[in-house]
A and B are shown apart, each in its own frame.
Chain A
């Protein structure tokens, strides 16, 4: 799986990802979230809960909780940072490419699910879409 673009590294465990894994931002729980959703990947047991506060259709606060590999947890943390300030309509357009660009790494088919789980949980919570993002 070859990806193009600036900043793309072939190193699955580049520093930024490990930093987000070891020092996750926006990890924890929100007081009285407007949206809360939990899901897991049955193949590996990774678990993610996403909580959002929404005002006038815009995400004003976001947090995740859960456990899993560095890829799933770092992606969740980065994704929470990305979506604050975005409208729910904008979030609807986020796809696999968005996640891969955000991570800036190449991911094989097996680990792709780890990277896509946070977005899957987010979309399921926001729109009831249960499918894996494409």
Chain B
């Protein structure tokens, strides 16, 4: 789909009205320029209202009471699950497991599928560009289960080095875990090619969609993902809610994650029987308001249109890439705009990313600084940290201009 720049800009101005926080003026009198969306996105009024409505009108526990409030809460909770399923084209809402976020989703797979399927002689393959959430659970389980953890290397341009794939993806590989889109170099990985390579050796795939689901249309069936994970708060939804999608036969064969209420069918002192999927993996009272809020976020994103959001971010990113490349001494990490999602991580000669971020903050510009939970990737790129501007549906070219002006100011402060 092609959208003209003027239309994009007009629509964005309208969409900005949906986000109360974007009207905020900071204590220093500057309007907020929020470019930290890869860390957490802002929430539209509809999501805030939906959660407020739950607490004001029908707050009650789910799947338990037979009273009116509990029935209403249960219905809203399960409708949210259906909305999420449709959003990512899952065959059934039963394959949507609510977790606290992408991190918990990956841990769930590591602790349950991993324990049931991995042992000495097996290999789990991840990549050098992964977020710590897709590294550390596997390092922990490796110690317990004795499998080997291997890594797909990356090129100097921040792409997976596919020439090396046959070296590390072998018949010993039981699971291949990779991010759909990078939270640092921005790379959108060739998921279909990676899944096909995994299939060829009989490996299952887990895809970390934390940076893709908020920004582009996702069809987990078309991608043939065995597991797909993402977080609510990066896609206009609340914190504390995330999703694990899994193929039904895999989920049904997996042992439970945590024990407690809701995940059991029958409890006797001599032992217990597990509830069916997805409840088997949802012990304890879930994040009800958050799940319902995530449902509202999905409604909002669909109403805006995921194709439009993707195209808008590409346009902003192309513009930002060109303007930031003009700044002397600025090094952009990762590939050209055509191969990346809506974020740009960078270093600025002689100025530590924390200082860059602190100086941008004076202009009202919020960016992330640090290693973005991807220390191995920064080691690979030979840097300690970077700053990152990440865009969403409500960001504008004018905000990119404010960012670039502030980068020049940072250089003035450090007199470089």
Say if the beta carbon of A70 comes within 8 Å of chain B: yes
Q: Judge whether A44 and B358 touch: CB under 8 Å.
A: no
Q: What residue of chain B has the Cβ atom nearest to residue A43's Cβ?
A: B370
- Across-interface contacts of B359 in A (CB, < 8 A): 13
Tell me, in angstroms, the Cα distance from A114 to B100 when the chains sit together: 30
Within the complex, which residue of B353, B370, B413 is in contact with A13, where a contact is CB–CB below 8 Å? B413
Q: How far is the CB of B39 from chain A (nearest CB, A)?
A: 13
Say if the beta carbon of A68 comes within 8 Å of chain B: yes
Tell me, in angstroms, the Cα distance from A22 to B413 when the chains sit together: 12
Q: B-facing mask of A9-25, CB < 8 A → 1, else 0?
A: 00011000010001000
Q: Judge whether A45 and B371 touch: CB under 8 Å.
A: yes
The binding surface of chain B is classed by DSSP as mixed
Q: What residue of chain A has the Cβ atom nearest to residue B371's Cβ?
A: A45
Q: Judge whether A69 and B413 touch: CB under 8 Å.
A: no
Q: How far is the CB of A109 from chain B (nearest CB, A)?
A: 13
Within A61-77, the residues touching B (CB, 8 Å) are 67-71, 73
Say if the beta carbon of B384 comes within 8 Å of chain A: yes
Interface residues on A, range: 10 to 19
- Across-interface contacts of B310 in A (CB, < 8 A): none
Tell me, in angstroms, the Cα distance from A13 to B375 when the chains sit together: 27
Tell me, in angstroms, the Cα distance from A116 to B31 when the chains sit together: 31
Say if the beta carbon of A55 comes within 8 Å of chain B: no
Within the complex, which residue of B350, B385, B413, B414 is in contact with A44, where a contact is CB–CB below 8 Å? B385
Known: A45-B370, A45-B384. A69 touches B414 (CB 8 A): no
Q: Judge whether B352 and A69 touch: CB under 8 Å.
A: yes
Say if the beta carbon of B354 comes within 8 Å of chain A: yes
Within the complex, which residue of B354, B371, B384, B415 is in contact with A114, where a contact is CB–CB below 8 Å? B354
Q: Judge whether A67 and B384 touch: CB under 8 Å.
A: yes
Within B302-358, the residues touching A (CB, 8 Å) are 350-355, 358
Q: How far is the CB of B408 from chain A (nearest CB, A)?
A: 15
Q: What residue of chain A has the Cβ atom nearest to residue B351's Cβ?
A: A70
Q: Judge whether A68 and B352 touch: CB under 8 Å.
A: yes
- Across-interface contacts of B350 in A (CB, < 8 A): 22
Say if the beta carbon of A111 comes within 8 Å of chain B: yes
Tell me, in angstroms, the Cα distance from A111 to B369 when the chains sit together: 12
Q: Judge whether A69 and B355 touch: CB under 8 Å.
A: yes
- Across-interface contacts of A71 in B (CB, < 8 A): 354-355
Q: Judge whether A44 and B370 touch: CB under 8 Å.
A: yes
Q: What residue of chain A has the Cβ atom nearest to residue B357's Cβ?
A: A69
Known: A13-B413, A18-B414, A67-B384. A44 touches B354 (CB 8 A): yes
Tell me, in angstroms, the Cα distance from A93 to B259 when the chains sit together: 50
Q: Judge whether A45 and B358 touch: CB under 8 Å.
A: no
- Across-interface contacts of A70 in B (CB, < 8 A): 351-352, 355, 414
- Across-interface contacts of B370 in A (CB, < 8 A): 43-45
Q: How far is the CB of B347 from chain A (nearest CB, A)?
A: 12
- Across-interface contacts of B414 in A (CB, < 8 A): 13, 18, 22, 70
Task: Report 27 cross-chain contacts, Cβ distance below 8 Å, ordered by A residue.
Answer: A12-B358, A13-B359, A13-B414, A18-B414, A18-B415, A22-B350, A22-B414, A43-B370, A44-B354, A44-B385, A45-B370, A45-B371, A45-B375, A45-B385, A47-B384, A67-B352, A68-B384, A69-B352, A69-B354, A69-B355, A70-B351, A70-B352, A70-B355, A73-B352, A111-B354, A111-B358, A114-B354
B: residues with CB less than 8 A from A are: 350-355, 358-359, 369-371, 375, 384-385, 413-415
A: residues with CB less than 8 A from B are: 12-13, 18, 22, 43-47, 67-71, 73, 111, 114
With A13-B359, A71-B355, A111-B358 already in contact, 9 other A-B pairs whose C-beta atoms are closer than 8 Å: A18-B413, A45-B371, A47-B384, A67-B352, A68-B384, A69-B353, A69-B354, A69-B358, A73-B352
